[in-house]
Structure 1
Amino acid sequence: MPQLWNNILVVTKDELVPNWYKKENTLYSEITRYANKAYGIKRVQLGGNGRQMFISFDSLPPVVQDGIGDPRKLNHVLDQFYKVDGEAVKFFTNFKFEDGTYLDTEFQERYIINASVLKAIISLRSARENERRTKGNFSGAGIAQTLLSDAQSFNDILEKKYKVRHTLPPGEKQFKKTLKDFETIGYAGIISGRHKNANRRKVDDITIELLNNLFAGQPTKPTATEVHRQYEAFLMGYLEVINNETSEIYNPSDFKKLGATTVTNYIAQWSNKIGTHGKRSGDRQKFMQQFSPYHSLLKAKFAGSIISIDDRQPPFKMADGNRVWFYNGIDLGSEAFTCWVYGKSKEGIIMEFYRQMVRNYADWGFNLPAELEGEMSLNSSFVNTFLKEGAMFQYVRIEANKARAKRIEAYYRPLRYNLEKKRIGWLARPHALSESNQPGSQPAPTLSFNDIVQGCLEDIETWNNMPHSVHTHMSRWEVFCQKQNPDLQPTNYAAILPHIGYKTPTSCNVGMIQLNNSLFLLGDEGRIATGNKLISLMTHVEGKDVDVYWLDDNEGKVLKAHVYIGNQLICEAIEKPRYQRARIEQTPEDLANREIMSAYVATIEAYGRRQKKSIDTLTIIDNTPKPKKSFIMPGLKKQVEVVNYEMPEVFDEPEDDETPVLQSFGLKSLKDRF
């Protein structure tokens, strides 16, 4: 969020990197290039020594200004009510049709956005009705039209701020119906049956849809007369019209010729795209004082309620003068570090951080934390994927340029001065207030990368075994293990594996999938499928190429694997159970694995037998007239001697995994020889 500094509207580098500049060095190069020129990006305050670098907002390119948002300009009224609906994310990512298939990910995103906008519209409607009642007006006439106009104009804001657009109907009648269905039926009320098919058929009101899109879906805001001209040109083949939301190319042969009066009268029923806007202050501090009161937050009582994450560079240098990067996560209820990754640069560690978090919590047998708080710079590219509320976490709070909002910052200080300071090579702060924390007379020695990492991991281990600040009779790790929040939800793998998992193209043959040199069976909800469920899955994937999104655990084994065809989730892939061949060595686990595998095989074989029995034998009588023979083969009528041969008996071949039994034939005993 831009802020005022010395009467200049400024932004920080965290608001520009990586959204608008890939790396900090790219931003610095851009600043240096235009430093002595009358135009271009301008830096108004240097960073360092506890200060932040400020960049003039007005010197940024227009496209960057529009993307960040100018607080001096009027904002959209729906913006204060809109946020991604976490419950919608959970509903649509796990929604199944009657045949057990999932929604395509493209439609999941569309419905999540539509549901979030509809909830914002409902909140806006309540606010307007309350405002009317306070003024003595108890009539709701006209509110629906204003809500429709606000919904349509809000698409531009969604495009700029979130790079998404909603697909709510542009017509008042259809808009009212969609809103009513959403309020009465719920999330399922906005799912269209035609989205079940990859190639969607055109509906009866396709002409109305096209006219609405021509009138309201163009940035030039054409008049009714211009819409009629475009419609006529479209019918004659001079214009090609494509729906940007569905990628559907309209076919002129499906439309009838309409008169100008008909088009004009229809469009006259629509309201102009007029949104009611609220004026916002250009002074960020006054705005925060007016709308964001000071919070007094209580410490989390349970482990797993919230995790705070941030990056840091431990105060040790390598021989090349660089420092190691760590990305850590601390559970605020137990004060224990639960996730950590490291590297020589920031590149790639953030994605590995979230993978490692899933591995750790699965290894310990706990659900992922309910809430995440973190910084914007490295997480901005994930806010529309697995960091949406309801995906990996129930609640997500990503802050830019707000260190106090990340509780982990407060724990880094005791980690630095109580543990890391005792190690060789510790770097003091040049301007530390305490003399004991200032540099000594001798320069700190450099360390190898492995030595720095090993020391930091030992510090985390020591930290987790130290007494808890509230439960002083317990260590932080004991609090983490024994005081987990009972309301935590299971990990939503369907929402996160396509984004943080590894992708492996493979295929399904005989109900088995090859993955990482191992065989996997079809399953659902953590269990190997059998019965009708298995047959349903086989009809979707057997003999087809599939993509498996999977994640490994801390031992390198497959933790969770999901099978996709295109963008559609089909089922889980569960490792094929194995059991001991020798019966005397079989354990109860071996017997259970044998029972599961037998049920899996029996399901497929029984289905094959049923299919075989359902096929009836036919007799084919060929009544085709035979051609007249004008050529006769000499000697063809000569009797041919038929010799009957006795066919040898054919025995069933042993299974591949059975050891052949050696037998002796034709050997007589000594007694039988005489």
Structure 2
Amino acid sequence: MEYYGKILCISYHDLTCGENPIMSVPNYKKLSSTGKINVVRSGRGLGGYALVEVATLPKRFQEKIKEKYGDMKEDILRNWFGSNFRIDARAREFYTKFRFENGDALPPEHINEYTVNASVIEAVLAVMEDAVLMRKAMKGGPVNWGEMAGAISYYQSEFGHTLPMSANRFKRRVNEFRTRGYESLISGKFMNQNRRKVTYGIEKLLLSLDAQPEQPYNTTVYENYNLFLQGERELFDPDTGEILNPADFTDKDGNPIVLSPATVAAYLNKPKNKAFRAKLHMSQWDFNNAYRPYHLRRVGEYSLSKISLDDRDLPRPMKDGNRVKAYYAYDVVSGAVVGYAHNRLKTAELFLDCMRNMFQTLDRNGMYIPAELEVEHHLVSDFADGLMQAGTVFPLIRWCNPGNSREKRAEHMNRAKKYGVEKLSQVGIGRWYAKLEANRPKEEKVYDEKNNTYKVKSYTYDELVADDIRSIHEYNNQLHPNQKRFPGMTRWDVLCSKQNPDLAPWDKAVLYRFIGFRTDTTIKNNSFFTVQYNNFILPDPEIISKLEPRNYKVEAYYLPDTDGNITEVYIYQHDRYIATCKPVKRYNENTAEQTEADKEAYTEQAKYVAKFDKMIKDGKIKRVGILRKEESKAIENVKAEAVDVYVPNEEEDYSAYMDVAHFEADALAKV
């Protein structure tokens, strides 16, 4: 017999060969094929031979092995542990997830140690529950903890456990495990404050000394702490006025706990403490980017599912030293710019101009309204109860946290546009503090009385805007950065071909009330009004019934297209929608010069007049007679008499009386 790892085995040859085999070959094949015995190693390979686990053989064959190879009582426990020891996965999970009161985890080496120890004790408990095996091992007597510990110690080097070898200590450790479970194996030395030189109180004091507004060096904190212990510095709590006592920061013998500069620096620079200190000493923007966790996201599938907007200052200055303010609307999936605006000032009008440009682009390309807009509160908060209220114009609105540049997709696309397009065609693109030297523009300081002047080339407003618009078109027509997903496609190709199929068209009457231009005008002759020196006509004469009494004044909302033409105007009266109106098409009054367009324009105006005439005719007012009371009584007293009433013949011709020329001729004849 031999061990295969921790398992006591017998070879196939010893089982089936020799003068007195333990079992026959057919019997072996049947037991192994049905899985009733455990063949831990097959006989395949050069010089290999099969090994069978002794513990899995039927009892009659184990008795034959004892008769042939001798009594194995002395190794019963040792052999059983070698065959049945298994690592407890639940123990490893417990020690991996275990946390002390302050949130600390166990060191990796102790996780493995405690897992092995727990697995060994569980094997001991399992063998103790097998009454038959224990009677054989203990020869019918009580548990011999010395023998039990000895059997385990035989595998100490193989299993790697650190359980005590003393019988009494081993018994006590097993009984504690039976009572308290996995936690009983964790050493009480962990989290013992008496073993720490730097207690939690001292660590807290070091952080408090570092929290001064002047942001002291680590060495300054070290000096102030030790001077405090020597009584040369007095520390107090500014909230309560309590004076700190140096005697509270001594060891068990009453000696001050003096720290070295390296120890102070080590505790101040613990990852958790660095985050605490950064929150005090850094700006919110720097803290968010350096320490605050951020979400990991993936880009969606369809364009126009989400539009991200952001503003920026163009990097090159104007003649007056100021910079052009720009606002962009990026489609997140394609990365394309779908709207942009420029201004000398960063006002809400800059945002509105960007929205107008975006919808002009969408309208020109037959695209539907985006499903979601991602914006920040700056510049846009004034529209939170109108345009930027979810469900009013856009189905979804996402408000980004202020100062969190990672959150807005537009921030990343601004950088891609700046260093992927602008830097390749414009001089002076970059930042003076950029890490990469190539991204630091050349600046020469002028040493004058102000001592803050630099030689930087400047441009006119129109030059900067024109350059930026060119860069936008070049950026949109660059290959999409994810060519694996969109092979051979530009950003604009992805925008146009990958639109979300669930998008809906927008209602311009609602939209233009928020982003369009407004002018107050008056409806004249129940038909038309003037906007930007152009006449617009009501769609139907019946629209005048929606107007308020004695009020022909309306608010007209409109948005010119990219060519400056106004194709539709939406009129409201005190925020109540009235109608959508088209431009009045004028026609050439010279019949001989009229084109088909003139004839069509004439027909449209004639139809409107005809509709108006019909409305007037259908609504003709019928007069009622008016009598005084005495006249009414006199009529009641008159005796009714029959009179002859002339009834005209239906065949009589009255057309002459309806002809204006007839009345004119009759009037001339009488002169």
- TM-score, normalized by length of structure 2? 0.46
The higher radius of gyration belongs to: 2
The two structures have a TM-score, normalised by structure 1, of: 0.45
